[in-house]
Structure formats: C-alpha cells, structure tokens
Structure 1
Amino acid sequence: MTTSSHKSFSLLGLLLRLAIPCVILAAGVVGFQLLSAKIEQPPRQEPKKVLLRSRVEEMHSTDYPVVVHTHAVVQAHNQVTLTAQVSGTVAQISPSFEVGAYFSKGDVLVEIDPTDYETALAVAESELDAAKSNLKLARLVHERKLRLVESNAVSQGEVETASASKDQAEANVSLAEISVEAAKLNLRRTKIIAPFDGRVMTKQIGIGQLAGANTPLGEVFAVDYVEIRLPISGEQRAFLELPEFSEDAPLVVELRDGILQGSDTVWEGKIVRTEGVLDENSRDLFAIARVEDPFGRLAKKRPLRVGQPVIASITGKTLKDVVALPRGAVRQLDQIVLVNQEDQTLLPMKIDAVWSDAEKVIVPASVIPPGMWLATTPMAFTPKGAKIEIIPSADPSISIAESTSNENDTKATN
C-alpha cells in the first residue's frame, strides 16, 4: 500500500469517528424539540351549574289541639289472695273457681269439710243450755234467800252467797253465748265467699287437700272496672289539666292496643285522679285512668285484659295561632329551610318549638316570615339566598310546584 493511500484511509476513519457523535447529538436535539413541543388540547367545557331541588309546602296559621301520647299497662283496681280462715279438708270447689272463670259477689267458691265445726257448734249450744239452766236455778235460790232473810230464817251471809252464785251463773251464760257465736262463725268460715264480682287469676287448692288457717287458695280480681297508671312527663303536664281533687272534672283518654298497634279497637276511659308523688327516677307524674266494664260483659265489646299494654291518647290544651310543621321537614331538631315564593331562594332558620310529637313540630305563626314556602326535601347544603328548583308534587291537587315549574320552563325557552 502506498503512502498516499494510507493517509486517505486514516482520514476517512477519523471522519467516521467524528460523524457518529454528531449524528447522536443531532438526533437528541431533534427529539428534545419534538418532546418539548406543546400538545394541543381541546378547550375545557364550563362546568354545568346544578340547581338545588326540593318539594315545598304552604304554611298556614291554625289552632292545634295538643294530644299527649303515653304507654302503660292495664291493672286490676282490686286484686286479692283468698285464704282459708279455718283448717280442714277441702270438700267442694265451685266451677266458678277455675282460672279465668267469672264469679259474682256472694258465690261460694271453696268449701272446707264442716263436720268438725258442726260438732263444735252443737257442743257450744249444749253448754249454753246447761248454763241457762244453772242461771235459772241460781235465780230461784237467790229469790228464796231474800224472802227468808226478812224472817231471820237465813243469815245475811247466805243471801250474799246466793247472790254471788247467781252472778256467776249469768257470767257462764254470757261465756257460753260467746262460744256459740264463735262456733257459728267458724262454721260459716268453712265456706269461702266471693267478696265482689270478679274473675279468677290463679288457683292453688284442690279437692281433698288439707288447708290450714291462712293457707292461700288463689288470686282473684274485680271486673267492674280496671285502672291504668299513665306516666306524664313534666313537659306533657304543662298542656294537660289533670284532676287533682275528687270534685275536679275527669279527663277523657283513648286507649289502643299496645301489641297489635294496627288494630282499630279503641277503649274510652277517664282520668279520675293523680298520684301524690313524682316517680323518683323519671320525675314523671302518674295519672290514674279508669275504664268501666273492661271485659265487655255489659256493652259486648272487645275485652281489655289485665296486664295488657296500651297506648293512651289524651287531648290537652289547644294552641292558638301556630304553624304545624311536618316532622320530616325539621332537621337537627330545630332547623328548617324556607323558600321565598317570589324568587325561589333559600332562607334557612332555627325554630323554637312550643310542642312536638311524632308527626308535627309546632311553632308560633309569628316566627314564620310572610311569603314563604317550607322546603320538605332533604338537601346536603342550604346556603342562604341560593336559587332552588321546585320539584313538582305528585299530588294533582297541589299546583304550587307545577305552576312554578311551568314559569321556569317558559323563562328558559325565551
């Protein structure tokens, strides 16, 4: 290879070594320019404004009768345990002395074998006859001694002895008469008599069983009327005129079944008195309601049984010039949202209820500004002055929301 050819080859290799880095550098510059170029993006759309929506109701001033609701259990006004007053074997039991059976005042419910007590009465009567005979003899002796003492035939001491014998005989007669009355009483006590018109709750005795004095025979209760202890809170008492004295007028109360709350049966009672002390735990006052003929023996109605839970409704005072708000429209116990009828903007406000129950919250009509509707649909936020869209009511008889919606549609079209 010649010297000139060797030089040409060396120059070519040098150029190649220089060209490769230049190409890489140029490619990097071009790539950087391409990557750093701004990517064209479509223009952002403006977010769509979402209107708050709610149903509304009109509010009217009215007179609202307060109805107090409370729960209680029916109780017998007279419930007693029948006990034996004499001992002996149970000889007879009346069919009326079975659990659930009715009986009348004076019925013989249980009879204890009277044989021993009949014998005791016969003995007492015989002893009385003997005492009377002794008294008759003592009187004759005493009279004879008195006649003889006048002729000095007997001494004064004999007269005094005869007088003492007569007094002793009279005392023996009195004692024998008491024994006879006691024997008669024990004989009468072998028959357990119903003390009132009632019904048997429990029976604890059977025929042939030995009953001792004070042995419980069963429990009975009166059926002429029942009583219900109704707890009345301090807040509720402010709206009721409860009878405090016997001459006060009773307060009508309606009772419904506390178990079958869908039942349409209503028992009417009267609150006749209140207890003299407040409950030490709840500070409630118990009002005593009375229901006559609870078992429907006279009126042929559904029975109101002892031990049955009931829901009581008591009509109290009437609140004048108030607004009854639906319970569902009141948030956090004391907050409502009003809607201006002219421009459909929101006005949240706090209320101070004068009365509330499960369905209504009652406020004075004076606290509600004029020209307002009540928003009844729950909303996450309710800024004051925010525009609202009225939701049409499903009730065709209510045209407030419909007319407002039609006006909004007309404005949107124009």
Structure 2
Amino acid sequence: MAADSSKISSFAGILLRLAVPCAILAAGWYGFQLLSDEIEKPEPPQPKEVLLRSRVEEIYVGEYPIVVKTHAVVQPHNQVVLNSQVSGMVTKISPTFEVGAYFNKGDVLVEIDPSDYESELSIAESELEAARSEFKLAKLVEERKLRLIESNAVSQGEVATASASREQAEANIALAETKVEQAKLNLKRTKIVAPFDGRVMSKLIGIGQLAGTNSPLGEVFAIDYVEVRLPISGDQRGYLNLPEFAEDAPLAVRLMDGLQQSDETVWQGKIVRTEGVLDPNSRDLFAIARVDDPFGRKSGNPPLRIGQPVVAAIDGKVLRNVATLPRSAVRQLDQIVLVDQKDQTLLPMKITALWSDADNVIVSSSVIPKNMWLATTPMPFTPKGTKIEIIPPTDTSISIAESASLETEESVTN
C-alpha cells in the first residue's frame, strides 16, 4: 500500500510541474489570438471633387490702332567747337559765354587783344597808299614817253620800260589792297561771334589766357530745334509710313520723359527723314525726329534737354477685324486658354500674333472660335475639354490653391 501511495504522489507532482508551463502557453496563445483580430477602422470620407477655377473675359473683335514705341536720346542738330582763327591774349569774355548760358546769333562771345592786328592794318593801309603813289608816277612817265615817241625823241625800248613800270605799280596796288583786306579780316577775327542762336556746352578759355591759332575756346549747340534718332525695328517698319524723300509728309511723334515715368509732359515732334543704312548690329532703321523750340523759350513748355532719354510714341496703321488679347492672358508668348460659353470647358490653343506691345497681343479674329471666353487666371494644367468653374467678377479669390482649401474646409465643417 505504501508503495502505491508513493507512485501516486510522484505522478501528481509531475502533473503539477507540467500544468504551470501549459497554463502559460495557453495564456500566450489566447493573447495572440486576441491581439491578432483585425481592428475595424471607419471608412474615410470621399474627397470632394474640386474644379479648376478661372476668371474669363469677353474677346473684343474690331479695330486696333497701332502705336509704335521706341527709346532714344535727345541730341543737338548743330554742335560745334569754337576755335580762334588768330593768336593773342584773351581780353574779354561775354557773360553769355558761360556753361549753360543762352546767346543769340551775332553776339560777341570772346575778344582777343587787337593791338597787333590794328598795327598790321595801319601798315597795310600805308603800303597801299605808297603803291598808289608809285602807280600815279609810273603812269605819268608812261604817258610822257608815249608823247615823245611821236617826235622820235625817245626810243621804243624806253616806252616799253615805262609801260612795264606802270603795270608793276598797278600790280603792287592790287597786292597792297589784298594785304589791307587780310589785315581787316584778322582784326575782325579777334572778336569770336556766335554763329547761331544757342547755348554753351563747355568753356575752355579764360581772360588773360593766350589763345593760339585754331585753339578751342568752347563748345556750343543750336537751340532752334533738336533731333532724336529713333531706332525702328524691321517688325515695326511695316506698320509705319516713314518719310523717305524730301517731299514726303512728316510723321507725327510724341516724346515722353524716359527717366521719370510720373512726368506727364509730352513734347510734340515730327519725323522728317530716315537714314539710308541699317544699323550693322541690330538691323534697325533710324528715323530722325525734329522737335522745335526744345527749351520752351517761345512756347513756355518744359525744356527738352540735350542727352535726355525719351520714350517715343508713333501712330501707325490701324489693324481691322482683329482680336485684342490682354498680354497677361498669353502664356509662353503664344499660348492662350479659351472657355466654351455653353458648357464651360477648356480649349487651349496656340496663336500667331500680328502685333504685340506691353499691354496687348493682337491676333486675327478668324483664329478664335465663336462663343468663346478668354481665361485670364493662371492654371497649373489646362487639359482640353476640362470643365471649370467661372470666378464671378466680384470674387477676389483667384488662387486655385486657396479656392481648393476653402472648399475642403467647408466640407469638413458640414
């Protein structure tokens, strides 16, 4: 009996030792099964379809007057350096011969010491009187010889000598008269006179300074009118009737300040001629515009100064039966997006411009399909046939990203 009890106790101990790890394994398996069950997740809301949005404009078809704009710099039509034709010390400078000063034609601008030239004139006049006296004497001798030869009192050779002396004396008079005229001219040249109405650009001489022959005294320019050399490109020339010959009518041009865009002053000019050659680099043709009374001395207009950059506007031909597109609506120089007015779908297309400027691009109306609007809002992509939402004129939210975010916020709120 004792042996049987011992066996039973031993078997129970073994079962007890096996029960603990089995319970642990069973608990682990249960936990694995529990954790491995799929967790149900709520289905995400369906994203709301967001349409492309754009503003649109009516496409205007009609006439478009071309205005050619170009840039240039004002320059004088006559600019010269005054030189001294005689040498001497500068004794007087007129107040009108200062940088920026105005002067009139005939004004004495600079005076050179005339003493030496007055002496030369006196000497030349004395030599002229002596030559005239010698001529009178030679003429009397010749006449006397001619009377005596009739009575054979003198020889033919003496008569010939007397005639030669008279001719020499006559030539001496002509030479002396030339010297007198030259002396008068030199004396006159001691006063440098203004050759035209103008202004002083630079002054290179002062009182007491010695001026040599051909010494530069200063630079002056005429003020009766100025010229503007306007570059006209090959594309622009086809729309302008530029004067080619002297009898051609001038072409009106308006000039605006090229430095201060806020300056509303407009100077009226006219293109009077064109140059005969194209620029070797740009192949532009230069048209010469003339503006009278540039400093407003007669008209009272603001001055148009030498060297001032200007923007020139020239009225050209009028294009007819064309569509005017705002430049902001043209992408990559030749691409636009149209919107069908019926179903509001996109129609991207390429265009060929007849004319373009800073504000508009002009195309033939025949290339634009009927019943179309022009999309003016930038869009990241424009597939053909895509339906879009038209932004009302009063709507200021033109950003596609902003409009999409606003619609998302509205859907979450609802």
TM exceeding 0.5: yes
How many angstroms does 1:41 deviate by? 0.7
Q: State the percentage of identical aligned residues.
A: 72
User: In the TM superposition, what are the counterparts of 1:155-304 in structure 2 within 5 Å?
Assistant: 155-304=155-304
Cα distance in 2 for partners of 1:394, 1:137 equals 112
Cα distance in 2 for partners of 1:58, 1:317 equals 25
Deviates most, 117-126 or 345-354: 345-354
How many angstroms does 1:60 deviate by? 2.3
TM-score (norm 1): 0.93
How many angstroms does 1:152 deviate by? 1.5
Cα distance in 2 for partners of 1:272, 1:307 equals 20
For residues 165-199 of structure 1, give each alpha carbon's deviation from its aligned partner in whole angstroms, at most 9, with x where no partner exists.
11111111111111001100100000101001111
Structure 2: state its 5+ residue gaps.
396-414
User: In the TM superposition, what are the counterparts of 1:330-409 in structure 2 within 5 Å?
Assistant: 330-394=330-394
For residues 254-291 of structure 1, give each alpha carbon's deviation from its aligned partner in whole angstroms, at most 9, with x where no partner exists.
00000111111000100111111111111111100000
Partner SS for 1:283: coil
Query: For residue 151 of structure 1, what is the aligned residue in structure 2?
Result: 151
Query: For residue 310 of structure 1, what is the aligned residue in structure 2?
Result: 310
> 1:135 and 2:142 equivalent?
no
Return the letter of the residue paired with 2:105.
Answer: K
Cα distance in 2 for partners of 1:86, 1:6 equals 156
Cα distance in 1 for partners of 2:42, 2:230 equals 74
How many angstroms does 1:28 deviate by? 3.2
Query: For residue 97 of structure 1, what is the aligned residue in structure 2?
Result: 97
Return the letter of the residue paired with 1:47.
Answer: P
For residues 278-324 of structure 1, give each alpha carbon's deviation from its aligned partner in whole angstroms, at most 9, with x where no partner exists.
11111111100000000001111111001000000011010000111
How many angstroms does 1:4 deviate by? 5.4
Return the letter of the residue paired with 2:65.
Answer: P
Runs of 4+ in 1 over 3 A off after TM superposition: 2-10
How many angstroms does 1:19 deviate by? 2.4
For residues 42-94 of structure 1, give each alpha carbon's deviation from its aligned partner in whole angstroms, at most 9, with x where no partner exists.
01221110011111111121100011110000000000000000000001111
How many angstroms does 1:5 deviate by? 5.9
Cα distance in 2 for partners of 1:293, 1:106 equals 19
Query: For residue 80 of structure 1, what is the aligned residue in structure 2?
Result: 80
Return the letter of the residue paired with 2:256.
Answer: R
User: In the TM superposition, what are the counterparts of 1:18-57 in structure 2 within 5 Å?
Assistant: 18-57=18-57
Residues matched between the structures, number: 394
Partner SS for 2:184: helix
Partner SS for 1:183: helix
Partner SS for 1:81: strand
How many angstroms does 1:250 deviate by? 0.7
Return the letter of the residue paired with 2:267.
Answer: W
Partner SS for 1:269: strand
Cα distance in 1 for partners of 2:178, 2:6 equals 169
How many angstroms does 1:22 deviate by? 2.1
Cα distance in 2 for partners of 1:16, 1:141 equals 183
Return the letter of the residue paired with 2:41.
Answer: Q
Cα distance in 2 for partners of 1:82, 1:6 equals 147
Partner SS for 1:61: strand
How many angstroms does 1:36 deviate by? 2.2
Cα distance in 1 for partners of 2:165, 2:5 equals 188
Query: For residue 323 of structure 1, what is the aligned residue in structure 2?
Result: 323
Partner SS for 2:132: helix
Deviates most, 17-26 or 330-339: 17-26
Partner SS for 2:307: coil
For residues 116-166 of structure 1, give each alpha carbon's deviation from its aligned partner in whole angstroms, at most 9, with x where no partner exists.
100000000000000110011001111111111221111111111111111
Partner SS for 1:66: strand
How many angstroms does 1:12 deviate by? 3.6
How many angstroms does 1:200 deviate by? 0.6
Cα distance in 2 for partners of 1:323, 1:302 equals 39
Cα distance in 2 for partners of 1:93, 1:394 equals 71
TM-score (norm 2): 0.93
How many angstroms does 1:23 deviate by? 2.5
How many angstroms does 1:39 deviate by? 1.0
Query: For residue 398 of structure 2, what is the aligned residue in structure 1?
Result: none
Query: For residue 404 of structure 1, what is the aligned residue in structure 2?
Result: none
